[in-house]
Structure 1
Amino acid sequence: MHTLRQYLLTLEDPRGLTRTLGPVEPCRDASGKLQYAAGNSAVVFRIRHRGRLCSLRCYLRPMRHLREIYGERLLERELYLFTGPETGEWVDVVVGDWIEGRTLQEILTEAATEGDRERLASLSDAFDRLAADLVADDRAHGDLKPENIIVSPDGSLHLIDLDASYLPAFASEPSPELGTAAFQHPARTAADFDASLDDFPAALISTALHVLRLDPAVYDRYRDADGLLFTPARIPTDPAFTEALALFERHGCAAWYRVAQLMCAPTLRLFGLAELLGHATRTVPFDGEPELFVANGRWGYRTQTRVVIPPLYDAGFDFTEGLAAVRLGRTWHFIDSAGRTRLSCPGCEAVKPFRRGRALIVRNGRRLEIDRTGREFDILPQIAIFAKE
């Protein structure tokens, strides 16, 4: 075991204390203090090496499988660490490129506080792209949370702190740590160490970011949550979770609604998450009107060769005049062939497809017509049959 103080003492003047790196120059802030970030298992210093900015990852306690995780970036017995006034030992370090930027936690907090919906939308889309790849492969980060994601100035996201990663070579081993509880499935134990470790935190972070892009004020209402808006141990009774589902239902955000629901799963593996995140990251217009189909009790749209809109909805009609009526939860919407919500009908008990530019709806027992802009028109009493399912 080593201490932060020992590393600070060593890095104050590291001349002659590296075995293969040669000269390294620790970076300092405006007050002259060393620039570093300390975590549970390691402290990372910002250094300059051979004209490049680099990260020097120094360990506070022994960690398994560093060679498998970091490859050639791991330098064994590289840094001579002072453990006392006249004593020391050679320790392992990991050297990599320094990633400029701030953590996702810092940036989303700033954007939510400022009510910056555009910035939050960009962050949520970027995270979904990262998470879609992350949960689809045979690896796992193991401690996925906003503090372990760096947002570069160009908006790209980068994972850091890979020490708890799962690789296929580690199968059947116990987990070296349980990750941060505020972002982990409450059922996770040391016996859980496989590619599904990132499923729950990916769903939680994605859900929170999409909630904030719709309503940044939610952030202030749930600042006391264990994690980002949500407290994992309280889902599905968590008020923030209930509010998230209601918000997605009202706006017709079907993919986000289904991702949020997955957080109620009793297992760490969230089946279908990769597909949902993949769908959420692409909006591809479809030239034509795909056919309605049902799978596992939900409705979607497909052609003879591919699924255009996955089965996300609780009920649906065929496309007419370029729009299809679908129900998400208790709310009816009209979507286009790319799955984008074009009209919402809150409070409607029933709807019918568009015909000649108008659709019939029923709200509070009153029959109305709407046009493609959502304007409502009274209609004369007549016999009409509305599908409620």
Structure 2
Amino acid sequence: MEPTKVKPKLWNRNYVIILFMTFFCYFAEYINITAIPLFTVSIGGDESTVGIFLTVVSITALFFRPYLGYVMDKKSRKRILVLGTVCMSIAALSFSLVNLIPLIMTLAIFQGIAVSSITTAGPTVVTDVTARGRLAEGISLYSNALNLSIAFGPMVALGVINRFGYVITFRTSFAISLLAIILAIMLNYEQKQAFPHGSSASRSEGFNIKTIFDRTAIKPALYQFFMAFCAALIWSFIPLYGMSRGIENIGMFFPVYAGATIVVSLFTGKLVQRFGVGKVFIPGLIMQLFAFISLAYAQSLPLILLGGFLYGLGSASGFAIISFIGMDLAPAHRRGAANATLFAAMDVGVASGSVLMGIITAQFGFTVTFFVAAVMIGLDIIVFLLTQSTRPAKVLHDSSV
């Protein structure tokens, strides 16, 4: 009688800690990201000002990300996580103390460092502490920490703003970010244990273009750019969009959107395992395209919620698959650089998307802006079809996933 094959263990102490740390850090971030656009408009800014804030965050994240990825591969993931959570707390507390747009733009630098640190280190740690046979499942569940924060962060932000004002809102974000700091410190993770024998030579290389970026992640980074360009519109302009069209309860958009992302995240890994990357990624992009078309025409809450639901389904599967591809192709000792490459593309996408979307919205309104987003998603579909190999990612097709 053959022994029963034991499925690799997914849940462990470090995995649980990184899940909750990510949730609290993103929770604080999305409170800030939701409140800042409304706050800047309340003190004299407009949509283009909001775009500039998001651009400062993204450019800062892009500037620091290569070095952070290098430090992660050379020294410590945990050190970068602590840096990110501390910068998030500094930004949140400081936002509650200022009311001048130039100061808000300056504080966006701390937000950018936090975003860069968490998005680079978080997925890398998850990949390191997850058994390879369950990597697709581990990354999918990890993405739900982000999805839940998207569900609750904007909703909490809008509720606290309406009831208590902006100062209490930002201090709520500060309190949540303190929990993230505690969890980051608790993480018991030694980087050297994550790498296979023989990687030490690569880890001894100096800081240069070859070590800070990973060429295996270039293609998925390209797909990430187009999605991030459009995601900037969803993540920060929806409250202003609802205000411009007189839609009450616009905060409902976020739990509907996040609920869709949570549902699809539970099945993305298994769907790709069964049907392959392209047959899941392309339908996800198509759903995003129709979501933006729905939002372009929406004049009532039900159509807006439909757009949020479609975008949630499409973006969750899309971003997860991009991460799967990048992590599968990268050598274990280059995961930090691979993540830095993927999220550098996201930084560029969000930065350019924020500026252009803000300018287009200020000049032509949200209908034109959402159509531009739909066109960008269409371009992403074309780029994927032209560049992606038909070979399925080996991690996703591991029989034990």
Relative to total residues, which structure has the larger strand share, 1 or 2? 1
TM-score, scaled to structure 2: 0.27
- Relative CO higher for 1 or 2, CA cutoff 8 Å, sep ≥ 6? 2
Relative to total residues, which structure has the larger helix share, 1 or 2? 2
Q: Which has the larger radius of gyration?
A: 1
